[in-house]
Chain A
Amino acid sequence: EVQVVESGGGLVQPGRSLRLSCTASGFTFGDYAMSWFRQAPGKGLEWVGRIRSKAYGGTTGYAASVKGRFTISRDDSESIAYLQMNSLTTEDTAVYYCARDQAGWYYFDSWGQGTLVTVSS
């Protein structure tokens, strides 16, 4: 069974950093691009960024709202994708999801349950 599980969320003060993890199972993680999304309380979905598979250079791309502050990386040996978040602001408060890119086309067939990040003093 394909599964992705996010972890690492919690309460953090503005200006601080946090690293989220996305642990995958049930598929060959290294063959897939992965993306991160977020959903502020009561709001819609926002794409945060993605990392391609190593076969496609492992390149990353980000939304303008997080570019320069957030970094996505991956450890294929452990089947984990990471989201490093720096210089957090209250506007980053959201549930963060990771999702598998089904076929490299940027639509997503497997999502984790999400992890809540609350940025507050």
Chain B
Amino acid sequence: DIVMTQSPDSLAVSLGERATINCTSSQSVLYTSNNRNYLAWYQQKPGQPPKLLFYWASTRESGVPDRFSGSGSGTDFTLTISSLQAEDVAVYYCQQYYSTPLTFGGGTKVEIK
């Protein structure tokens, strides 16, 4: 199984400041034949289901604000919120879909400082 590791577990950022979340996979999730990274990011607010933010590591889902960006390749990935807003308070998860079983990172809780 591919193990997904997120860091930090939590972070507190001032409104308008940048938040950066890291995700590392135990093996590469880059499929070389199509040059795609099989990595998605989700946002989960309290009491709500996850919401898809990015797939193929950096393709933004429709409706996701452009202050969110996804980057990385191979085994190392980053989710960045360029200017944190109050509504961004949530837990963020990365998920690999390179192979089954699908696996998630442990989550990163983002709060307002």
Contacts and interface: CB of A to CB of B under 8 A. Distances in A.
Interface size class of B (residues with CB under 8 A): 20 to 34
Interface of B: 38, 40, 42, 44, 48-52, 55, 61, 93, 95, 97, 100-107
Contacts, number: 52
Contact of B52 (A46, A47, A107): A107
Contacts of A87: none
B51 A111 contact: yes
Contacts of A64: 101
Interface of A: 35, 44-47, 61, 63-64, 97, 99, 102, 105-109, 111-114
A111 B51 CA distance: 7
A105 B55 contact: yes
Nearest to B61: A109
Nearest to B100: A61
B66 to A, nearest CB: 18
Nearest to B62: A109
